[in-house]
Amino acid sequence: MSNGVLGVLWPFSLFIIMLSVVGLYCVLVTRNLIRALIGLELLFKAVTLLLVTVGYVTYHAALAQALVITLIVIEVVVMTVAVGVVLGIRSYNESLDTRRIRNLKG
Protein backbone atom coordinates (compact mmCIF):
# COMPACT_ATOMS: atom_id res chain seq x y z
CA MET A 1 0.00 0.00 0.00
CA SER A 2 1.37 3.36 -0.93
CA ASN A 3 1.96 5.75 1.91
CA GLY A 4 0.44 8.56 -0.14
CA VAL A 5 -3.11 7.26 0.17
CA LEU A 6 -2.76 6.50 3.84
CA GLY A 7 -1.23 9.91 4.42
CA VAL A 8 -4.60 11.38 3.45
CA LEU A 9 -6.33 9.69 6.36
CA TRP A 10 -5.02 11.66 9.33
CA PRO A 11 -5.45 15.22 7.98
CA PHE A 12 -8.95 14.31 6.87
CA SER A 13 -9.84 12.76 10.22
CA LEU A 14 -8.52 15.89 11.92
CA PHE A 15 -10.89 18.08 9.95
CA ILE A 16 -13.73 15.60 10.42
CA ILE A 17 -13.27 15.74 14.18
CA MET A 18 -13.29 19.54 14.07
CA LEU A 19 -16.39 19.60 11.86
CA SER A 20 -18.26 17.32 14.22
CA VAL A 21 -17.19 19.50 17.16
CA VAL A 22 -18.70 22.51 15.38
CA GLY A 23 -21.93 20.58 14.75
CA LEU A 24 -22.16 19.24 18.29
CA TYR A 25 -21.42 22.65 19.79
CA CYS A 26 -24.20 24.13 17.67
CA VAL A 27 -26.68 21.48 18.82
CA LEU A 28 -25.79 21.85 22.48
CA VAL A 29 -25.46 25.62 22.77
CA THR A 30 -28.08 27.03 20.45
CA ARG A 31 -31.49 28.13 21.63
CA ASN A 32 -33.19 27.87 18.30
CA LEU A 33 -34.88 24.69 17.16
CA ILE A 34 -33.99 25.15 13.48
CA ARG A 35 -30.39 25.90 14.31
CA ALA A 36 -30.21 22.71 16.34
CA LEU A 37 -31.32 20.84 13.23
CA ILE A 38 -28.63 22.64 11.22
CA GLY A 39 -26.09 21.43 13.78
CA LEU A 40 -27.35 17.89 13.29
CA GLU A 41 -26.92 18.34 9.53
CA LEU A 42 -23.28 19.34 10.12
CA LEU A 43 -22.84 16.12 12.10
CA PHE A 44 -24.24 14.17 9.16
CA LYS A 45 -21.80 15.97 6.84
CA ALA A 46 -18.87 14.97 9.03
CA VAL A 47 -19.97 11.35 9.00
CA THR A 48 -20.47 11.40 5.22
CA LEU A 49 -16.96 12.76 4.72
CA LEU A 50 -15.57 10.11 7.08
CA LEU A 51 -17.20 7.28 5.16
CA VAL A 52 -16.03 8.63 1.79
CA THR A 53 -12.49 9.11 3.10
CA VAL A 54 -12.37 5.59 4.48
CA GLY A 55 -13.63 4.26 1.16
CA TYR A 56 -10.93 6.17 -0.71
CA VAL A 57 -8.12 5.09 1.61
CA THR A 58 -9.04 1.40 1.57
CA TYR A 59 -9.84 1.30 -2.17
CA HIS A 60 -13.45 0.52 -1.28
CA ALA A 61 -14.87 3.64 -2.87
CA ALA A 62 -17.74 1.74 -4.49
CA LEU A 63 -18.94 0.20 -1.23
CA ALA A 64 -18.52 3.49 0.62
CA GLN A 65 -20.52 5.29 -2.07
CA ALA A 66 -23.32 2.75 -1.77
CA LEU A 67 -23.41 3.35 1.98
CA VAL A 68 -23.28 7.13 1.57
CA ILE A 69 -26.20 7.14 -0.88
CA THR A 70 -28.33 5.20 1.62
CA LEU A 71 -27.20 7.56 4.35
CA ILE A 72 -28.23 10.63 2.35
CA VAL A 73 -31.71 9.23 1.69
CA ILE A 74 -32.17 8.52 5.40
CA GLU A 75 -30.83 11.96 6.29
CA VAL A 76 -33.46 13.69 4.18
CA VAL A 77 -36.31 11.71 5.71
CA VAL A 78 -35.08 12.33 9.26
CA MET A 79 -34.82 16.05 8.55
CA THR A 80 -38.29 16.19 7.00
CA VAL A 81 -39.84 14.55 10.04
CA ALA A 82 -37.79 16.79 12.36
CA VAL A 83 -39.01 19.89 10.52
CA GLY A 84 -42.55 18.57 10.84
CA VAL A 85 -42.07 18.28 14.60
CA VAL A 86 -40.54 21.78 14.78
CA LEU A 87 -43.50 23.23 12.90
CA GLY A 88 -45.78 21.41 15.30
CA ILE A 89 -44.06 23.04 18.28
CA ARG A 90 -44.23 26.40 16.52
CA SER A 91 -47.97 26.13 15.99
CA TYR A 92 -48.35 26.15 19.80
CA ASN A 93 -45.57 28.51 20.78
CA GLU A 94 -45.24 30.99 17.91
CA SER A 95 -41.52 30.87 18.59
CA LEU A 96 -38.62 28.60 17.96
CA ASP A 97 -36.87 29.20 21.25
CA THR A 98 -35.77 26.07 23.07
CA ARG A 99 -36.03 27.92 26.37
CA ARG A 100 -39.80 27.74 25.99
CA ILE A 101 -39.48 23.98 26.23
CA ARG A 102 -39.91 23.84 29.95
CA ASN A 103 -42.84 21.51 30.27
CA LEU A 104 -40.54 18.55 30.39
CA LYS A 105 -37.98 17.97 33.04
CA GLY A 106 -35.77 15.30 31.55
Partner 1 sequence: MYAYLILIPFFSVIILNLPFRTTMKKAAFWACLVLLLAQMCLVVFSAIFPGCSFFDIFKTLFKLDFTADNLSRVLLFSIALILCVTLLVQKSILGDKERIFNFVNMLLIILVGMNGIVMVRDIFSLYVFLEITAVSSFILIGFNQDLDAFEAAFKYIILSVIATALMLSSIAIILLLAGDTSFSAIASTVRLSPHRLLISLAVGIFLCACFIKAGLMPFHGWLPDVYSAAPTSVSVLLAGIATKTVGVYTLIRIVNSVFVLDRSLQHLLLALGAVSMIAGALAALGQRDLKRMLAYSSISQVGYIVLGLGAATPLGLAGAIFHVFNHAVFKSLLFVDSAAVELETGTVQMDKLSGLAKRMPVTGFTSVLASLSCAGIPPLAGFWSKLIIVIALWASGHYAYAMLAVLASLLTLAYLLTMQRKIFFGKLGQDMAEIEEAGPVLMLPALILAVITVGVGLLFPFVSILLKGNLLGG
Partner 2 sequence: MSVNIAILLSLLAASLWTVLTRSLLRSAIGLALTSAILTILMIRLDSSLAAVFELSVCTGLISVLFISTISLTHPLTRKEILAHMRERRARFWFLPFLLIALGVILSLLKIKPPIDLPAPEAVKEARNVLWSLRQVDVMGQIIVLLTGVFGVVILFKERVKK
Q: Determine, following the binding rule CB under 8 A, whether residue 35 of this chain makes contact with partner 1.
A: no
What does each C-alpha distance from 31 to 13, 20, 28 come to in angstroms? 29, 19, 9
What does each C-alpha distance from 28 to 24, 61, 73, 80, 88 come to in angstroms? 6, 33, 25, 21, 21
Q: Is the dihedral of CA 19, 25, 27, 32 positive or negative?
A: negative
Residues 57-76 close enough to bind partner 2 by CB under 8 A: 57-70, 72-76
Position among 50, 96, 100, 104 found at the interface with partner 2 (CB under 8 A): 96
The rounded distance, in Å, linking the Cα atoms of 25 and 20 is 8
What does each C-alpha distance from 25 to 18, 19, 39, 76 come to in angstroms? 10, 10, 8, 22
> Which residues of this chain interact with partner 1, rule CB under 8 A?
9, 20, 24, 27, 33, 36, 40, 43-44, 46-47, 50-51, 54-55, 57-58, 60, 63-64, 67, 70-71, 74, 77-78, 81-82, 84-86, 88-89, 92-93, 101, 103-106
Q: Which residues bind partner 2 (CB under 8 A)?
A: 1, 6-12, 14-15, 17-19, 21-23, 25-26, 29, 32, 34-35, 37-39, 41-42, 45, 48-49, 52-53, 55-70, 72-77, 79-81, 83-88, 90-91, 94-96
